[in-house]
Homo-oligomer: A and B are copies of this chain.
Amino acid sequence: MAIEGRDDIAGRPIRLGMVGGGRDAFIGAVHRIASRIDGHFQLVAGAFSSTAEKSKASGRDLGLPDDRVYGDFTEMAKREARFKQGIEAVAIVTPNHMHYPVAREFLKRGIHVICDKPLTATLADARKLVNLAEKSDALFVLTHNYTGYPMVRQARQMVADGDVGTIRLVQAEYPQDWLAEPLEATGMKQAAWRTDPDKSGAGGSTGDIGTHALNLALFVSGLELSELAADLDSFVPGRRVDDNAHVMLRFAGGAKGTLWSSQVAPGNENALRLRIYGDKGGLEWSQEDPNYLWFTPLGEPKRLITRNGAGAGEAAGRVSRVPPGHPEGYLEGFANIYTEAAHAIRARAAGETPDPAVIHPTVRDGLVGVAFVDACVRSSRRNAAWTKLAI
B386 touches A386 (CB 8 A): no
Partner of A310, one of B235, B301, B304, B384: B301
Q: How far is the CB of A148 from chain B (nearest CB, A)?
A: 13
Instruction: Indicate with 1 or 0, residue by residue over A316-355, a CB within 8 angstroms of chain B CB atoms.
Output: 0000011111111111100000000000000000000000
Q: How far is the CB of A160 from chain B (nearest CB, A)?
A: 18
Stretch at the interface among A35-43, A94-102, A218-226, A364-372: A35-43
Q: How far is the CB of A125 from chain B (nearest CB, A)?
A: 25
Q: Indicate if A270 sits at the interface (CB-CB under 8 A).
A: yes
Q: Indicate if A279 sits at the interface (CB-CB under 8 A).
A: yes
Q: Indicate if A298 sits at the interface (CB-CB under 8 A).
A: yes
A321 touches B29 (CB 8 A): yes
With A328-B329, A330-B322 as given contacts, are A301 and B306 in contact (CB-CB < 8 Å)? yes
A327 touches B5 (CB 8 A): no
Residue of B nearest to A189 (CB): B4
For chain A residues 140-180, which have a beta carbon within 8 Å of chain B? 164, 168-169, 171, 176-178, 180
A37 touches B36 (CB 8 A): yes
For chain A residues 18-39, which have a beta carbon within 8 Å of chain B? 24-30, 32-33, 36-39
Q: How far is the CA of A298 from the CA of B278 in the complex (A)?
A: 28
Closest 5 CB pairs of A and B: A269-B325, A267-B296, A270-B325, A5-B29, A329-B329
A to B CB contacts below 8 Å, 23 in the list: A3-B190, A4-B24, A4-B25, A6-B29, A9-B61, A36-B36, A36-B39, A169-B264, A169-B265, A181-B279, A181-B298, A265-B282, A266-B297, A270-B323, A270-B325, A271-B325, A288-B325, A301-B303, A301-B309, A301-B311, A303-B304, A304-B304, A328-B331
Further 13 A-B residue pairs, CB within 8 A, beyond A5-B33, A267-B296: A4-B29, A5-B27, A5-B30, A13-B63, A231-B248, A265-B277, A267-B284, A270-B323, A270-B324, A288-B325, A288-B327, A299-B310, A300-B311
